């Protein structure tokens, strides 16, 4: 016992300085895995010494408490406080923190869920504006912010990518417990963020709506009774400017106000080759204000308001074909062997009114009230946003191939959740009810010219009707304007969605080492939806046709034998009907649908503590996402998604070595997974993105390690392996993808190192280097989606690497600091995907390309 007593004394007398002696890592791991008496005792005593800064394990025994009391008694109070503060800081530095992933305050390492935590420190060192800037650093999670008002989330290969209001996403995004939806309100700027909890696998029991693949929980900082102020200023290449600031003010002994603002702008790194206009600048600012009231009877009330305004150019379209001399048009079909490299080719965009904009407002009221039996929490939230995304969809600046697409959306939602919780030595429980109401309007719009329509008719049917009629009018000496007229089509959707749920989740402490968690969620969804697509709007063309008809031009063509009556009727019919939204049932009046679904989603988890800081667990859980409607396919609906996920994992923390190792094995089966695909065989001339459902299966491994070998050095590594494939699936174009890969890369990984030099110019110098790797897209036979392509000029779907670097100095007083940061340090450029919307009708495919290197300077001021 001498060794144990000596170790306890060392722990209790440790100071803020890093201890000079380290036990060999291999020996510590070996003893932990073998269950050696000395290692177990040492880890146990260390765990109890740190209880003041981490939540006590529910199964802690009376003997452990007595050991802590005996060990701490000889140490002076200041030494104990210093040791505990040092331990807390060391633990937090590698992610051993308190979280709320299970609607309870627990240490992250005691939660039997595969997860990854992102701290405010990591967000700052990456100069990340929003979740999309974390791409690659959370293996398994992909956030596509190509269109920030229509973001795409995917976790463990599961994502919808649909922008229609009739679908929901399988990855739930929550801010302070409030569901943000999947479109305009889902991707917001980081604004006074405390941490992000990324939970992998179905989380519906606790999080509820649409978290069948996983949940992203963003926690913001709350007002405190300490006066606080801070400002960050950044400036960089391509006109990048960034500001965020916060002010925390105590109003009285029971109330405090916290306000935060963020503003990011840039000119963009790309210019239109013809007009010289910047194409991909950013413009986004937001404000958050939170009032905290510590009411009587230990009641806490938090009222917050958030506003954000996005106003910038829409994503650019990088054309892939060389344009012939005007008025020539590209060849159909386009030949990939002749594609240009979009990373170096000139860019021509001519979207009229090019813009992506969003106005967002949200109000949240949270109330927490303790009782003798437990506690009561209420969350009431209202969200509203209006967005517009008008973008070039042909990658050219020719009037005879001009094609713009627009998405207008307005969304209002109201949420209410009541939650009851309590715990004792035997059980820790949470139960409650939630209500969700959403009303949304969407207008999907297509804009082109009659010149474009003439090209489409010629490419699809070999009949350039406008050219033929224009030639005939000239021959007859009749003035007519067939070209240069605008053509617009619209699909109007309205949606009303209601969801009600009851949930319960209980942790039974079976023994001091074994916990059994059982949870269930009962959900009922009710949705109403409508489609309306009136006839095209082409006022200039209609005026020309009416003028010619009045002059007897069309009867004259028949009399002259130029056209038969049937040919004339067909030609005029082609000029009068939609080419994209052409379902006749929704042209005269709206088509309505109403559907409801109910579901029971359980979860069962068993965890066992091999040692106080080493836990293994196994779980089975069901995820559910309600059915819905296809916004662009009239009367199109789909059934709910369900996923069964099976998982086994390890969570371990070797406290003396400051080493954290987590791993999990998972296997899931997904039924009716809703995904967005480009469908060419829709009966319309223009292909459209529509929702299709498939059954998928996947197996994989998640791994994470964090190590702080010295006081000033931290290292981390995380990775995910996943093998995902379709079970049975035939696309809308008839391509059989059964047993083929879905597309998710086999491997993704991230690694980083963080080192601090102290006593540098009366401050400290910190270097942060982080690297992310995402494997190549696993290709299948569905080439129309553009995820994979190999041409002489470039490849789409290749593996990607990204390196971020930051060197910062902070004054010893903490009052100010400066930093130099570099994103994408090695200037890696990739073709993210090919968009084939206009390939088959105009011969104008275009690409989406990743951003180049960004270099910036940061100034921080604090008070």
Does the pLDDT value for residue 567 go beyond 60? yes
Q: Give pLDDT tens digits for 444-482.
A: 999 999 999 999 999 988 889 999 999 999 988 899 999
| 180 three-class SS | coil
Provide the token pair at 863. Answer: 């008070």
Q: Give pLDDT tens digits for 268-305.
A: 999 999 999 999 899 999 999 999 999 999 999 999 99
Confidence at residue 43, expressed as pLDDT on a 0 to 100 scale = 31
Residue with tokens 């959740």: 417
Helices 37-49 & 2-12 angle (0-180, nearest 10): 20
Provide the token pair at 41. Answer: 């005792």
| 356 three-class SS | strand
Provide the token pair at 516. Answer: 């059994």
Q: Tell me how many degrees the CA angle 45-46-50 measures, rounded to the nearest 5.
A: 115
Highest mean pLDDT among 194-208, 525-539, 678-692: 525-539
Residue 535, C-beta contacts closer than 8 angstroms, at least 6 positions apart: 576, 577, 578, 587
Burial class of residue 550, CB neighbours in 10 A (0-12, 13-18, 19+): exposed
d(CA 821, CA 539): 53
| 456 three-class SS | helix
Confidence at residue 85, expressed as pLDDT on a 0 to 100 scale = 57
d(CA 49, CA 121): 26
Band (135; pLDDT cuts 50, 70, 90): confident
Q: Give pLDDT tens digits for 360-372.
A: 999 999 999 999 8
Per-residue pLDDT, averaged over 688-696, amounts to 73
d(CA 430, CA 726): 37
Q: Give pLDDT tens digits for 55-71.
A: 333 333 333 333 333 33
Does the pLDDT value for residue 318 go beyond 50? yes
Confidence at residue 66, expressed as pLDDT on a 0 to 100 scale = 37
| 799 three-class SS | coil
Does the pLDDT value for residue 19 go beyond 60? no
Does the pLDDT value for residue 30 go beyond 70? no
Confidence at residue 675, expressed as pLDDT on a 0 to 100 scale = 67
Other C-beta atoms closer than 10 Å to the C-beta of 682 total 19
Q: Give pLDDT tens digits for 322-352.
A: 999 988 899 998 999 999 999 999 999 999 9
Band (827; pLDDT cuts 50, 70, 90): very high
Other C-beta atoms closer than 10 Å to the C-beta of 763 total 19
User: How large is the greatest C-alpha to C-alpha distance in the chain, in angstroms?
Assistant: 115
d(CA 300, CA 736): 56
Confidence at residue 206, expressed as pLDDT on a 0 to 100 scale = 80
Cβ pair 641, 625 in contact under 8 A: yes
Cβ pair 643, 669 in contact under 8 A: yes
Residue with tokens 């693949």: 213
Confidence at residue 83, expressed as pLDDT on a 0 to 100 scale = 55
Other C-beta atoms closer than 10 Å to the C-beta of 629 total 25
Does the pLDDT value for residue 133 go beyond 70? yes
Confidence at residue 205, expressed as pLDDT on a 0 to 100 scale = 82
Band (788; pLDDT cuts 50, 70, 90): confident
Confidence at residue 52, expressed as pLDDT on a 0 to 100 scale = 35
Q: What percent of the chain has pLDDT over 70?
A: 85
Q: Give pLDDT tens digits for 601-644.
A: 999 999 999 999 999 999 999 999 888 898 888 998 888 889 99
pTM score, whole prediction: 0.86
Highest mean pLDDT among 102-116, 564-578, 683-697: 564-578
Provide the token pair at 756. Answer: 């601090």
Helices 539-550 & 565-576 angle (0-180, nearest 10): 150
């Amino acid at each position: 016992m001498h060794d144990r007593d000596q170790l306890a004394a060392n722990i209790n007398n440790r100071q803020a300085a890093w201890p000079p002696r380290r036990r060999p890592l291999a020996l510590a791991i070996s003893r932990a895995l073998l269950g050696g008496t000395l290692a177990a005792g040492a880890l146990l005593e260390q765990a109890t010494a740190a209880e003041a800064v981490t939540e006590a394990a529910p199964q802690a025994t009376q003997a452990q408490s007595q050991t802590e009391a005996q060990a701490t008694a000889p140490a002076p109070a200041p030494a104990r406080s210093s040791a505990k503060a040092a331990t807390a800081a060391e633990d937090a530095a590698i992610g051993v923190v308190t979280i709320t992933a299970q609607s309870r305050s627990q240490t992250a390492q005691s939660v039997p869920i595969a997860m990854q935590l992102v701290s405010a420190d990591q967000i700052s060192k990456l100069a990340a504006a929003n979740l999309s800037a974390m791409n690659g650093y959370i293996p398994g999670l992909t956030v596509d912010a190509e269109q920030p008002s229509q973001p795409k989330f995917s976790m463990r290969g599961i994502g919808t990518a649909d922008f229609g209001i009739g679908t929901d996403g399988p990855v739930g995004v929550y801010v302070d417990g409030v569901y943000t939806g999947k479109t305009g309100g889902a991707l917001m700027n980081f604004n006074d963020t405390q941490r992000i909890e990324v939970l992998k696998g179905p989380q519906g029991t606790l999080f509820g709506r649409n978290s069948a693949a996983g949940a992203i929980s963003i926690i913001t900082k709350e007002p405190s009774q300490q006066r606080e102020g801070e400002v960050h200023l950044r400036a960089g290449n391509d006109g990048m400017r960034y500001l965020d600031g916060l002010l925390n003010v105590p109003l009285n002994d029971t109330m405090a106000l916290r306000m935060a603002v963020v503003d990011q702008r840039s000119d963009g790194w790309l210019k239109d080759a013809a007009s010289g206009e910047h194409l991909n600048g950013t413009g986004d600012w937001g404000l958050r204000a939170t009032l905290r009231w510590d009411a009587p009877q230990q009641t806490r009330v938090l009222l917050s308001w958030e506003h954000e305004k996005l106003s910038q150019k829409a994503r650019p379209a990088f054309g892939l074909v060389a344009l012939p001399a005007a008025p020539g048009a590209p060849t159909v079909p386009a030949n990939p062997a002749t594609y240009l490299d979009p990373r170096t080719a000139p860019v021509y965009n001519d979207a009229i009114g090019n813009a992506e904009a969003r106005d967002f407002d949200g109000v949240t009221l949270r109330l927490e009230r303790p009782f003798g039996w437990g506690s009561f929490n209420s969350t009431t939230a209202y969200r509203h946003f209006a967005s517009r995304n008008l973008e070039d969809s042909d990658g050219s600046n020719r009037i005879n191939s001009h094609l713009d697409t627009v998405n207008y959306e307005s969304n209002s939602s109201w949420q209410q959740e009541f939650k009851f919780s309590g715990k004792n030595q035997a059980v820790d429980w949470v139960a409650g009810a939630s209500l969700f109401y959403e009303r949304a309007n969407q207008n999907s719009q297509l804009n082109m010219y009659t010149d474009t329509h003439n090209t489409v008719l010629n490419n699809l049917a070999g009949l350039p009707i406008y050219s033929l009629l224009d030639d005939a009018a000239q021959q007859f000496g009749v003035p007519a304007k067939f070209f240069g007229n605008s053509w617009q089509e619209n699909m109007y959707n309205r949606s009303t969605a209601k969801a009600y749920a009851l949930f319960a989740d209980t942790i039974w402490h079976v023994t001091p080492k074994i916990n059994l968690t059982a949870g269930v969620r009962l959900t009922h969804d009710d949705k109403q939806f409508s489609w309306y697509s009136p006839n095209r709007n082409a006022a200039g063309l209609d005026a020309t046709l009416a003028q010619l008809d009045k002059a007897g031009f069309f009867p004259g063509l028949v009399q002259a034998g130029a056209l038969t009556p049937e040919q004339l009727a067909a030609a005029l019919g082609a000029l009068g009907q939609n080419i994209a939204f052409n379902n006749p049932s929704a042209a005269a009046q709206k088509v309505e649908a109403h559907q409801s679904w109910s579901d029971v989603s359980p979860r069962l988890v068993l965890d066992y503590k091999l040692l106080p800081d080493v836990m293994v667990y196994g779980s089975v859980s069901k995820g559910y996402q309600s059915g819905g409607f296809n916004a662009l396919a009239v009367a199109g609906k789909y059934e709910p998604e369900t996923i069964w996920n099976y998982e086994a994992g390890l969570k371990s923390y070797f406290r003396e070595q400051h080493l954290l190792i987590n791993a999990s094995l998972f296997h899931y089966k997904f039924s009716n997974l809703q995904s967005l695909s480009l469908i060419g065989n829709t009966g319309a001339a223009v292909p459209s993105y529509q929702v299709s459902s498939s059954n998928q299966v996947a197996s994989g491994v998640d791994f994470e390690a964090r190590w702080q070998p010295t006081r000033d050095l931290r290292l981390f590594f995380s990775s995910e392996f996943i093998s995902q494939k379709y079970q049975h699936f035939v696309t809308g174009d008839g391509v059989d993808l059964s047993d083929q890969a879905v597309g998710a890369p086999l491997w993704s990984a991230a690694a980083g190192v963080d080192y601090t030099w102290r006593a540098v110019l009366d401050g400290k110098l910190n270097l942060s280097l982080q690297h992310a790797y995402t494997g190549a897209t696993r290709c299948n036979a569905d080439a129309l989606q553009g995820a994979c392509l190999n041409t002489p000029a470039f490849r789409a779907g290749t593996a990607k690497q990204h390196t971020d670097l930051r060197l910062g100095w902070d004054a010893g007083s903490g009052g100010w600091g400066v930093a130099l940061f570099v994103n994408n340090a090695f200037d890696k450029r990739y073709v993210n995907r090919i968009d084939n919307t206009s390939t088959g009708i105009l011969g104008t495919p275009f690409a989406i390309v990743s951003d180049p290197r960004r270099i910036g300077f940061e100034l921080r001021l604090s008070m």
